[in-house]
Amino acid sequence: MIQEFIVFIVGLILLIKGSDEFVEAGSRVAKGFGVSEFLIALILASIATTLPEVTVSAIAAFEGNSGIALGNAVGSALANIALILGISAMIMPLKVDEIAWRNSLFMLLVTFYAWFLMRDGVISRFEGFTLILIYLSFLYYLYKKHIAIEDIEGGKGGSVRRDVVILFLSGAVVVIGARMVVTSAVTIARSLGISEVVIGLTLVSIGTSLPELANSLAATLKKIPNISVGNIVGANILDILMVIGIASMIRPITVDASIFSFTMPLTLFVMGILTLSLRMTNKISRTVSAVLLAIYAYFLYSQF
């Protein structure tokens, strides 16, 4: 048992460090090819913090562990708002730009769509494809909306070839770390008599959300709330559309009844609280923070 916990922790470390290196190398590669700085930040930031969830759920789906694949995605989305934004806003109320609530509303809508897909107990490959298609359309919309605002600068920077190698090596580290996390989590779940769904919703989802936690706390402490909130909303959109989409494309996902009837409605509820707060005040106050943290505490209590 101790050995499995050690493997789990080492796997998480590889996930987080590999993700950090991946986004740093990816940013340098993008600059080297002359891609807009705005698009680098917009796309790679969310990919960086969500790469662990994508990889863990993809490997879990490939190995037939639907509970961890789906539980990780939904659990991460819930933890990102109720736990991470809850902690960040408790440290300092998060005042953001008006555009934040529109992105939060989009997050709410795509999550509702994903919940609708779960009604028959299975997310098929075609349904997973529609999730991925929505995300790609979302990226295209952002590209068309913002590309005209910024001039794409000519390629610059160091050795692009070296950065490409680092990009692939760091991606390999993430895959190795993800496999260690999935394998050890399944073993721990079985030995303790805890369902894989619960492990995916709690232990794995919180572990793979650590990059979002680090980024949001750092942005909060540096008094850059737009980055803190934007990172979470962007990561959740990617969690719901790409993490679930890719996992179900690899292998159709069997939806646990508790996820459909309890976790997804709870996730939609906290997303609704966030969207309403941003729409009314463009802010996440300490009062809203306390509500979010209380909901997450209740969620953890209900799981165990």
Summarize pLDDT for 128-172 with one digit per residue, the tens.
Answer: 999 999 999 998 887 776 554 444 444 444 577 788 788 788 878
Q: Is residue 217 exposed (0-12), middle (13-18) or buried (19+ Cβ within 10 Å)?
A: middle
| Cα Dmax for the chain | 57
For the stretch 166-191, pLDDT in tens is: 878 887 888 788 778 877 887 888 78
Instruction: Name the phi and psi angles at 39, rounded to 5.
Output: -70, -35
CA distance 139 to 143: 6
> Could you give the CA distance from residue 195 to residue 75 in angstroms, rounded to a whole number?
14
Give the SS3 label for residue 155.
Answer: coil
Q: What is the pLDDT of residue 207?
A: 79
Nearest to 4 by CA among 195, 170, 192: 192
pTM of the model: 0.80
